[in-house]
Structure 1
Amino acid sequence: MQSTTCDELVAQLRALGVREGGVLLVHSSYRAVRPVAGGPIGLIAALREALGPEGTLAMPSATGEDDQPFDPAATPNREDLGIVPALFWQQPGVVRSAHFDAVAAIGPKAEWITGGPFVLPPTAPGSAIDRIREAGGQILLLGVGHDANTMLHLAELIGGAPYRSDFHYTAADGTRVHYGENDSCCENFALADDWLRAEGRQREGRVGHAEARLIEAADLIRVAVARIAADPLVFLHGSAEGCEECDEARASIR
């Protein structure tokens, strides 16, 4: 396949609806987008150019090391987040939140997004994810589906999803801290596709060689919260479907 140039990527992103001067949270699969001129760093450059100098680019930057204290200056990302966010947080000018479930960002609103309070569960109101919504942000799913969409965990909490699985993190002094997180296999997050499409609130197209979805964070929260409020277990597989993670979530309900 022919590499997609930076100019081509920028044109595709803007045609999709990425706003110059906006706030953009990106979940990505470089494998789906590639080949790109300049590789993953070239893709980051195109995302920044599409946003322009007044725009703020954000990506997930969580650690998978629950048994080690998190150091935002050194701790690697969880591997499943992919190569683009793994490189992004290490780029000059990028700031990373001190929360173990970190977000990295660059741009005028980066410090505000990443500098919020330490909340649990990690995507609760007041979190970096919530601040992206507050800032009028958009969500770009680049070669991935809604199962990668962290903003839906915020929707679960606002909508009243009752399940909490046991997680822990390790504080700076080595203390293990347990907390309950709204967690499941996230496969049924794909329901958001139909919910958003039904209202014309999801733009879809091609960026590089990947299928891309672009959503206003406010639209996603509004639509998903209403569905969750009507059926708090809407994202869980049924008990007969044999999903261990969803069964654990069901079992946590008191």
Structure 2
Amino acid sequence: MTTATRQRSLIAELRALGLAVGDVVLVHCSLRSVGRIIGGAAALACALRAAVGPGGTLVVPAQTPDNSVSSDAYRAATDGMTDEERRAYEERMPGFDVRRTPSYGVGAFAEYVRRRPGAIRSGHPQTSFSAWGRRARELMRVHDLDSHLGERSPLAALERANAKTLLLGVGYESCTALHLAEYRLRRPPMVRPYRCYELDHGHRVRREFRAPHLDAAPFTRIGLSLDDQPFTRKGTIGQAPARLLPVRAMVRFAVGWMDRNPAR
């Protein structure tokens, strides 16, 4: 039988990994992989806040791909439907409400942080983030519709803030910061149409825009090389393997890797 991890042990493990007072940290987490924690998601969130201190900030993905007809989530949900059934499904899709719409597919820990009093969510109806801590409002302030994970998104703000990213029980395929590198390639990704829905003063409205087509397929291979870089810290939090990387160095490395491997 596995021994449950206590909050003070989590704090010690996070600090041993390299998380410091004042840090801004973007967390991708599989709570199940961490194992049994006394206090669950709340204890882990409090441990992270304690590790970065009152001047630090915790950031999580709060994405809602189920709100977009151009997402894998929508394609999976409507697979096998007739055109008429697909149209009816789209009509039932609720509009994104930045305060109330649950995140989708990013895990129980991220959703717990999103719901904390004082947490600030960015306004993108498909790829939002939530931040909790001193710099939350500053980091979430800009998230343009046609910049999912690009230069006018919280990812660029995190890079400017010298943020770190923590991969806790998940692999590099979950590392959203690597998408920022795609916007900076010598041959940037193709642009394609998107469509999603949000609430505007209580009314459901359709948002259509064009933005880069992003592809996480090479991230696992990039991660194999990132694991060998001196700026990558590796350890264990609870029962989960953990990696801590500076966003700026990681993105710079990924741009070079993808430019050298254009076929990917």
The TM-score range, normalised by the shorter chain, is 0.7 to 0.9
CA spacing shift, 1:203–1:74, aligned 2, 3 Å: same
The residue aligned with 2:211 is 180
Distance 2:217 2:261 in 1: 16
The residue aligned with 1:57 is 58
Q: Percent identity?
A: 31
Count of residue pairs brought into register by the alignment:
232
2:34–2:240 CA contact under 8 A, matched in 1: yes
Distance 1:197 1:139 in 2: 14
Distance 1:233 1:120 in 2: 25
Aligned partner (choices 97, 116, 123) of residue 98 of structure 1: 123
CA spacing shift, 1:164–1:145, aligned 2, 3 Å: farther
Report the Cα offset of residue 34 of structure 1. Answer: 1.9
Report the Cα offset of residue 124 of structure 1. Answer: 1.2
Q: Write the deviation string for residues 199-244 of structure 1: whole angstroms up to 9, x where unpaired.
A: 322111100110001100011111001112233332xxxxxxxxxx
Report the Cα offset of residue 50 of structure 1. Answer: 0.7
Report the Cα offset of residue 119 of structure 1. Answer: 4.1
2:27–2:59 CA contact under 8 A, matched in 1: yes
Distance 1:195 1:167 in 2: 32
- Which runs of at least 4 in structure 1 moved beyond 4 Å after TM superposition? none
CA spacing shift, 1:65–1:231, aligned 2, 3 Å: same
Residue 202, structure 1, aligned to residue 227, structure 2: no
Q: Write the deviation string for residues 155-175 of structure 1: whole angstroms up to 9, x where unpaired.
A: 111124323454322243512
Report the Cα offset of residue 129 of structure 1. Answer: 1.2
The residue aligned with 1:250 is none
3-state SS, counterpart of residue 198 of structure 1 = coil
Report the Cα offset of residue 176 of structure 1. Answer: 3.9
Distance 1:119 1:134 in 2: 20
Output the aligned Cα RMSD: 1.6
Distance 1:77 1:88 in 2: 11
Aligned partner (choices 106, 109, 113) of residue 88 of structure 1: 113
**TM-score of the two chains, using structure 2 as the length reference:** 0.83
The residue aligned with 1:3 is 4
Q: Return 5+ residue gaps in structure 2 as ranges.
A: 69-92
CA spacing shift, 1:119–1:130, aligned 2, 3 Å: farther
Q: Write the deviation string for residues 54-101 of structure 1: whole angstroms up to 9, x where unpaired.
A: 1010000111222432111110101x2000011111111111111121
What letter is aligned with 1:203? R
Of stretches 1-10 and 65-74 in structure 1, the one that deviates more from structure 2 is: 65-74
1:195–1:223 CA contact under 8 A, matched in 2: no
Distance 1:121 1:30 in 2: 29
Q: Return 5+ residue gaps in structure 1 as ranges.
A: 235-254
What letter is aligned with 2:61? P
Aligned partner (choices 240, 251, 254) of residue 224 of structure 1: 254
1:26–1:142 CA contact under 8 A, matched in 2: yes
Report the Cα offset of residue 195 of structure 1. Answer: 2.2
Report the Cα offset of residue 198 of structure 1. Answer: 3.1
Pairs within 5 Å for 1:26-41: 26-41=27-42
1:121–1:179 CA contact under 8 A, matched in 2: no
Larger Rg: 2
Distance 1:40 1:187 in 2: 29
